[in-house]
Amino acid sequence: MAADQATMPISASPLAGTLQMLFGLGIVLAAIAGTAWLLRRLAPGQVGSAGNLHVVAAVAVGPKERVVLVDVGETRLVLGVAQGQVTLLHEMPRPANAGLAQNGSAAMPFVDKLKELIASRGVSK
């Protein structure tokens, strides 16, 4: 008789079941919101590009500042983007192999050009 009582489930009140369900729903909604925030935060530029405008690369240089490499038609722009402000840093013709190099080989000339530009403006760390 004692063994039968130990295996019998304890019935919970309807309020406890509802609270448990709402708690689980809250955890799922928080996980969805956190994933959306993380994806938005880690996105490397725009998700889709329209027409002749294409974001090639973006590098964070501060908490709210970025240097963005943009192709507009046959022109490549280096833009400094800060909160409420976009500044043209450099303008050059678009390289012929712009769409081919995605493995990082095209990033090296950009890094060198950015270092030259920073050095010419006298900006130090």
Does residue 48 lie within any of the structural domains?
no
Q: Which helix (H) or strand (E) holds 88?
A: strand 85-93
Q: How many domains does the chain contain in total?
A: 2
The pTM assigned to this predicted structure is 0.42
Residues 66 and 106 in one domain: yes
69, 114: one domain = yes
> What distance in Å separates the CA atoms of residue 74 and residue 55, rounded to the nearest whole number?
13
Domain annotation covers residue 11? yes
Structural domain of residue 115, as residue ranges? 53-121
Q: Is residue 37 part of a domain?
A: yes
Digit-coded pLDDT (tens) for 8-18: 566 668 888 89
- Mean pLDDT confidence for 36-62: 75
Q: Are residues 31 and 60 in the same domain?
A: no
Token pair of 24 as six digits = 């689980």
Residue 6 maps to a domain? yes
**Top-confidence residue, 48 or 93:** 93
pLDDT, mean of residues 72-76: 88
Percentage above 90 pLDDT, the chain: 28
Query: Given a cut of 70, is residue 5 above it in pLDDT?
Result: no
Model confidence at 118, in pLDDT bands (50, 70, 90)? confident
With 80 as the cut, is the pLDDT of residue 48 above it?
no
